[in-house]
Chain A
């Protein structure tokens, strides 16, 4: 894989030390100690940064590829900017190059004992692997799930749609969740779009953490509800999203009718 991709980034950013953190589906994520334009960044972690690079995909037609790389990189940066303004937990943008598909951002998360990044998924997996069944549904896990739900609630309250919610796209820093990966994000006030966003996460939890998915999803939705508060108008919005969510679930079950 990545040798080619690492070479590409090294060519764009000569002299910047790069360490591969992960290879996602559409981007490779690097860690670096170098900030592009200041020696004293006002970030929680002033010594480490993330560089996210969307390499061109050889399988895509060049025209499709260029348009996707540009629109997703630009979309992600704008989305992160809006998140920062709304005060929703997510990394801060440091700098970006839309055409080349490069984003420099704040470093979040820790390295787990397994050597993996402390994503919500890896955290749950490591608990599932190493701890007792009781600990998989501990109060601690419940709190994290509810906070994740709350985070998504805040997002939707601002009419922002993540577009790719999975347990991989949530990073824990000191066990507090942050949203990442906004390449498929969009803006919408429609309950339908919010419901699909939730449905994508619900299904991702079911397939990735099938053993305790029922509990996790329950807690996620509890946190989600809490984010809407008790204000009458917000409650109505919440109820509308839940109604749509049930519709979307039904559609899911009715699908796959033909062989």
Chain B
């Protein structure tokens, strides 16, 4: 069986180096952490009939499972980035209000 392992690369202007995201240690399944159905649906009494099928034992099947893990890791990474960007943003406003007396309403 051929071992197919995907990776993802992330580049951004404020990143000096390219960031590489891998699939992690596993075990890998198609049931991802970040790709579940929305809570609101379950809370409203809905059922999840859209679960992915399990990965087969072939190399393509294993690739599917690893891709799900990779997607999880990408989602986690990007969520962190967004959180960080937001923090920087609010810090920036704080600094500008203190330093320059900028009105908060002006920056949106």
Is there any pair of Cβ atoms, one from A and one from B, under 8 angstroms apart in the complex? no
